[in-house]
Chains A and B, each alone.
Chain A
Amino acid sequence: MTVARQVLQAVARAAAGARRVRASQPGGALAPPAARATGLAGVAAVLVAFGFLLGASSLLTLEEAVGLALFAVATNLLVGYAGLVSFGQAAFYGLGAYTVALSWQHYNWPFWLTFTLAPVLGGAAAFLVGLVALRARFLYFALLTLAFSQLFYEIAENQYHFTSGANGVFGPMVPSALAQPRAGYFFVLAVVAACLAILWKVTASSFGLTLRAIRENRARAEALGINVFRQELIAFVISGVFCSLAGTLFVVYSQSAYPELLDWQQSGYAVFMVVIGGMFTFLGPALGAVIYTVGQQFLISRTADWQLILGAVLLLIVLFRPDGLAGLADSAARWLAQRVPAVMRRGAPGSKAPPRVAPVASASEGEPQHAARVPGDERE
C-alpha cells in the first residue's frame, strides 16, 4: 500500500499545481487576464526549460505526455463540451500514426507531406464515421464509435500484406533531425501548443457555446433553432483532425505504429485522461494526460499493478469527484482558503497565492449544490 500512498501524494501535488494551470486559462473562473497570461507563460517556460534540463529518457516521457495531452483535449471537445461520449477516438489517433508509417513504408513519402495529410484524412474519416455514429445517442453512440474503432483495429491487425498486422510498422520514418530527443520534444511541444490554441479558440467561440448548450439540453437547443446533428458533426470532425494529428506526434517519439493504437482500450485511456483531469475544464484533460503518462512511467518501473491503480483511481474519481482533479484542486483550495487564509496570503512567495484563492472564492456561484457538476472554467 505504500505505492498507493505515493500515488496519492503525487496526485495531490499535481492537483495543487494544476490549480495554477487552471486559474490561468483563458476564461478560467474569473481570473484576471493578467494572471492567466502569467500562469500560461509560467507553464510554457517550465516546459521549455525541461527541454534543456531533462535527460533523454525523461524527455521522451514528457514528450509522450505532451502528445497525449493533445489527444485528450481533442477527445474532450466531444466528451466535455458536446456531451458526446466517444469510445472510438483511438480510430483517428491510430489513423494519424498509420498514415505516416504506411506512407513511409510503402511509398517512402516524406514526413512533412504525411504530417500534413494525416489531419486531413482524420477529418475526412471523422466526417464519414460521424455521419453514421451521430444518428445514435448516448450509449448507442459510445458503442457505435467503439465499433468503428474496432473496425479500424481489425483492418490494421488482419491486412497483414499492407499493415504488417500485429507486428506494426517500425523504422526511421521521421526526419533524423526530429529523431533527436530534444528536437523532437520541442517540435511536439510547438505543435501541441499551436493546436491547443486553436482548440481553445473553438471552445470559446459562438460555436463552442452552442455545443455546450447542446450538451446541457439537446431538445431545447434544437427548439431554439440549432441544428444539433450538424453542430455535433462539425465537433466530431474537428476532434478527428486533432486526434489524428496527435497520432502523427506519436510516430515522432516512437518511430512506429501498431494496432493497439486503434484498440478500444486506447480510447478508454483518452476518456480516462479526460475524467481524471476534469472534463469541464479546457486544460484539465491535458493535465490528465500528463498524470497518466508520468504516473505510468513511475509505476511501471516499480510495480506490475499499473492497471490496478489506474482502475482504482477511476473508481475513486467517479465515486467521489466526478469533476476530476481540477475540481478536487478547487475544493482543496477553497477548503484551505477557509481554514487558513492567513497562511495562504503570506505563505506563498510573490503573487502565487492570491490569484489562486481569489478566483476560487468568487467562482462559487451556484457551486455549493452542484460542486461536482459545475463547469467552473467556461464562464466568461
Chain B
Amino acid sequence: MTSANSGAGAAAPPPGPAPVPVLLEARRLVRDFGSFRAVNDVSLRVAEGTIHSVIGPNGAGKTTLFRLLTGIHRPTSGRVLLDGRDVTGQAPHAIARRGLAQSFQLTTIFPRLTVLESVQAAIVAASGHRADFVSRFHRSTVPEAMRVLGRVGLADHARTLAGTLSHGDQRALDVALALATKPKVLLLDEPTAGMSEAETERTIALIADLVRTGGITVLFSEHDMDIVFGISDRVTVLHQGRVIAEGTGPQVRANEEVTAVYLGGSGWGMQRDA
C-alpha cells in the first residue's frame, strides 16, 4: 500500500502483502456500547519490528480499539490475530502470555508495592512461577528487574513505593511493567499524556530505542500528530470509530480528510480520550 487509504475505503482491510511478517492484526473489528458504535469496522496490520501509531481526536475510539486488542473488551464482531493465532475472545491474561503487553492511558501501577517489587511481579507473571508458593523465585529476578528499571531510568527509585513516584515516573514504571514481560508487541495507549516536554522526549526516545535495539514491535496511540510522525513507520488515523486514513507519516499528513478533521477542530482537544 503506497497511498493513504482514504475515507470510503476504510471498510476493507489494508490490501497488499506486507513486506515483513504481520505480528498483530485486527480484522474488521466492531464494538458497540448499547446503540453507540465505538469502533466501526477497523482493520489494522502491525508489521514485526515497526512502530505503528494510531492517532485520532478524543473519542475516536483509540482506547476502545486497544481494549479489543488486549481482550479487556470482546469485539461485537471481527477478529484479533496475534502472531498468526486467533486470540479473539481470550482473557486478557491469556493474550498477555502470548506476548502482547500494554501500558495504560490512565496510569495503572501497584501503588503499595515498591518499584522493584512491581517489576518483579511482572517478571513472575510472565514466568512459570505464578502459582509458586513454595520458593521465592522472584528474588532471583532482581538483576533482570534492575536492568528493566535502568532502561526506563528508574533504577534509582527501586526501593520507592510506586504510589509515591512523580506522575512522569509512574508512566515510565507502567512501561517498565510491560517491558518486563518480554512482549513481542507492546501497546502504549497515549504514553505521553500528561507528560512534560522533556518527559515526552525521553519517552519517545525510549520507544524508538526499544524497537531498534530490543526487537520489540510497538503499537501506540496519540492524539498529538506531531509526536508520532517523527518515529512512526506507519500511521493509522481513526475518526468516529472508523479508519479514515493509513500510510506513512507524510502520506497521512497530506491526506485531505485528515487535514479536514484536524483543522475542523472536531475535538483534537486536551481532554482525555473516552
Chains A and B in contact, CB within 8 Å: yes
- Name A's B-contacting residues (CB within 8 A): 201-202, 204-210, 212-213, 216-217, 219-228, 230-231, 234, 238, 280, 365-366, 369-370, 373-375, 379-380
| Cα separation A379 to B139 with both chains bound (whole Å) | 12
| Cα separation A365 to B223 with both chains bound (whole Å) | 36
Q: Which of B75-83, B123-131, B204-212, B261-269 is found at the contact surface with chain A?
A: B123-131
Chain A nearest Cβ from B139, distance in angstroms: 7
| Cα separation A333 to B88 with both chains bound (whole Å) | 55
Interchain residue pairs A-B with the least CB separation, the first 6: A366-B161, A216-B110, A225-B96, A207-B133, A366-B164, A224-B125
- Name B's A-contacting residues (CB within 8 A): 70, 72, 91-94, 96-97, 101-102, 104, 108-114, 117-118, 120-122, 124-127, 129-139, 159-161, 163-164, 177-178, 180-181
Q: Does the CB pair B117–A209 fall under 8 Å?
A: yes
Chain B nearest Cβ from A134, distance in angstroms: 14
Q: Does the CB pair A206–B130 fall under 8 Å?
A: yes
Q: Does the CB pair B164–A210 fall under 8 Å?
A: no
Q: Does the CB pair A224–B126 fall under 8 Å?
A: yes
Q: Does the CB pair A216–B93 fall under 8 Å?
A: no
| Cα separation A210 to B136 with both chains bound (whole Å) | 12
| Cα separation A213 to B133 with both chains bound (whole Å) | 15
* Given A206-B129, A206-B136, A380-B139: A221 and B121 interface contact (C-beta under 8 Å): yes
Chain B nearest Cβ from A230, distance in angstroms: 7
CB-CB nearest in chain B for A207: B133
CB-CB nearest in chain A for B111: A216
Q: Does the CB pair B110–A365 fall under 8 Å?
A: no
| Cα separation A274 to B189 with both chains bound (whole Å) | 39
Which B residues are CB-close (under 8 A) to A205? Answer: 132-137
Chain A nearest Cβ from B169, distance in angstroms: 12
| Cα separation A379 to B181 with both chains bound (whole Å) | 22
5 more A-B residue pairs beyond the given contacts A222-B91, A223-B70, A374-B112, with a C-beta to C-beta distance below 8 A: A206-B127, A206-B133, A221-B125, A223-B102, A366-B164
Which A residues are CB-close (under 8 A) to B104? Answer: 219-220, 223
* Given A213-B110, A217-B108: A224 and B138 interface contact (C-beta under 8 Å): no
| Cα separation A226 to B113 with both chains bound (whole Å) | 16
Which A residues are CB-close (under 8 A) to B91? Answer: 222, 227
* Given A205-B136, A216-B112: A210 and B125 interface contact (C-beta under 8 Å): yes
Which A residues are CB-close (under 8 A) to B112? Answer: 212, 216, 280, 370, 373-375
Q: Does the CB pair B96–A370 fall under 8 Å?
A: no
Which B residues are CB-close (under 8 A) to A280? Answer: 112
| Cα separation A369 to B165 with both chains bound (whole Å) | 11
* Given A220-B108, A227-B91, A370-B164: A380 and B130 interface contact (C-beta under 8 Å): no
Q: Which of A209, A231, A365, A370 contacts B138, CB < 8 Å? A: A209
| Cα separation A12 to B216 with both chains bound (whole Å) | 56
Q: Does the CB pair B125–A226 fall under 8 Å?
A: yes
CB-CB nearest in chain A for B141: A206
Which B residues are CB-close (under 8 A) to A220? Answer: 104, 108-110, 177
Chain B nearest Cβ from A54, distance in angstroms: 36
* Given A210-B124, A228-B93: A202 and B133 interface contact (C-beta under 8 Å): yes
Q: Does the CB pair A366–B160 fall under 8 Å?
A: yes
Q: Does the CB pair B125–A219 fall under 8 Å?
A: no
CB-CB nearest in chain A for B137: A206
Which B residues are CB-close (under 8 A) to A374? Answer: 112, 161
